[in-house]
A and B are shown apart, each in its own frame.
Chain A
Amino acid sequence: MILAQANTDPHAAAGLLVVLLSATFTDNILLARFLGMCPFLSVSRELKAAFGMGLAVLLVTTCTCAINAALYWGVLQPLEAYHVPAESLKLILFILVIAAFVQLMEMVIERISLKLYFSLGVFLPLITVNCAILGTSLFMVNKELRGLEAVGYGFGSGLGWMIAILLMAGIRQKLKKARIPPALEGPGITLIIAGIMAMAFVVFSGMIKI
């Protein structure tokens, strides 16, 4: 029903684009919300690994955000009228959906394509504890996005994360030849670069208001 409403609304397409763009750029899940930092720091050494991780995050965020939106707005929230603590239970619901989805994903990918399995497979278990995934679902509830908008938000924030880690991996590959103070090597310099990148993304922030 929610989906049907979104389709008939003439402003829905424009609204969807705004949600998608803001999730990718102005409200970048990594650089403005600081989520998914651990894999961002540890997997961004090589461009190839960063691409695999980014793709896995994009896939899982989009799907789990859509599933969680459907379950939360369709099942859990209506139950609040019967004194079910939806606000608290959503945490357990979301983490279970994410863990189950990742497990399923791993099995399906292994069946369909071994090549894809070996390029994505290593990153999938890591994803259950990637806070960007759970964070996207939680922000989806905060922003009250439903149906297609939730899918758009999930896709946008996954894409934003992927762009950020690819940029970082590119920069870090160049950095290998740079002379950095020994104490600053590794996480220190990566944090400073992330800060500069965040400044660049702050520029987008006046462009879209939702």
Chain B
Amino acid sequence: MAAPDTDQTARGAFLKQLWEENPIFRQVLGICSALAVTNRMFNTLLMCAGLTWATTLSSLTVSLLRAYTPQRVRIMVNVLIIAVYVIVVDIVLRAYFPQVHGQIAAYVGLIITNCIVLGRLEAFASQNRPGPAVCDGLGAGLGYSAILLLVATVREVLGFGSILGWPLPIPLARWTIMVTPPGAFFVLAVWVWAARAWALRRQARAGSDGAGR
């Protein structure tokens, strides 16, 4: 599991979730939806908005209720709190984006069991004051969104030759594989690879500077 959270300032918690402890790159959590909704950027944007909303507000709620929640039924209570916010997302999507709702409805429902949301509630929100908890949730949601958009951009440009549904002016051969499931795995793998390689190189440089290794 993630290292215990010692940094309890709001800004620190936000930045840490956004990059240092990025839920997808570092912890490889919650990637189910990262793979399933990313073949169109527009669907991805809506999904990210939904997840960010759910993590932020459920972090706030859990943090406010942390003194009154019995330890034994903690997980059940957390899951129900997330479920309430996810249902709001579901209703909003159905009302304003019926077409997209048809495509990603099942994955929106699955935000409830998304390990990122539950993980942040367990590791941070249930032990911290509301202010930092909200920032932590928001950071995790935005960190997740950033990676999803990276994956979605690559998949839509290569698979459909468009960005947000607008066709690109340059002619591109369509890569069918990018639209199909395997494409999602490959694109995410390459991004994870790149992020880790960059982090490793920075670590090595910091190590040789500091310890003279």
Contacts and interface: CB of A to CB of B under 8 A. Distances in A.
B48 to A, nearest CB: 16
Contacts, number: 114
B179 to A, nearest CB: 11
Contacts of B157: none
Contacts of B65: none
B14 to A, nearest CB: 24
21 contacts: A32-B181, A34-B36, A35-B36, A36-B32, A38-B29, A88-B87, A133-B113, A135-B110, A181-B193, A183-B197, A189-B189, A191-B185, A191-B186, A191-B189, A192-B185, A192-B186, A195-B182, A196-B182, A199-B182, A202-B181, A202-B182
B112 A128 contact: no
B118 interface: yes
Given A199-B182, A202-B180, A129 B113 contact: yes
A184 B94 CA distance: 40
Given A99-B76, A195-B186, A88 B112 contact: no
Contacts of B57: none
Interface string B176-213: 01001111111011001100110010000000000000
A91 B182 contact: no
Question: Contact size class for B?
Answer: 35 or more
A92 interface: yes
A99 B185 contact: no
Interface in A130-144: 130-131, 133-135, 138-139, 142
Contacts of A183: 193, 196-197, 200
A37 B200 contact: no
Contacts of A91: 83, 86-87, 90, 109, 112
Given A34-B181, A38-B29, A135-B110, 12 more contacts: A34-B33, A38-B115, A41-B28, A95-B112, A128-B75, A131-B114, A138-B106, A183-B193, A183-B200, A188-B192, A195-B182, A199-B177
Contacts of A38: 28-32, 115
B79 interface: yes
Which 3 A-B residue pairs are closest in the complex by CB-CB distance?
A195-B185, A191-B189, A183-B197
B91 interface: yes
B100 interface: no
B193 A92 contact: no
Nearest to A187: B28
Interface string B20-43: 000000001111110110000000
Interface residues of A, number: 41
B163 to A, nearest CB: 23
Interface of B: 28-33, 35-36, 75-76, 79-80, 83, 86-87, 90-91, 94, 105-106, 109-110, 112-115, 118, 177, 180-186, 188-189, 192-193, 196-197, 200
A104 to B, nearest CB: 14
Interface in A158-209: 181-184, 186-189, 191-192, 194-196, 198-199, 202
Nearest to B180: A202
Contact of A37 (B35, B75, B183, B193): B35
A199 B35 CA distance: 14
A33 B32 CA distance: 8
Contacts of A188: 189, 192-193, 196
Q: Which of A32, A34, A199 has the most chain B CB within a 10 Å cutoff? A: A34
A21 interface: no
A207 B174 CA distance: 25
A58 interface: no
B192 A34 contact: no
A95 B114 CA distance: 12
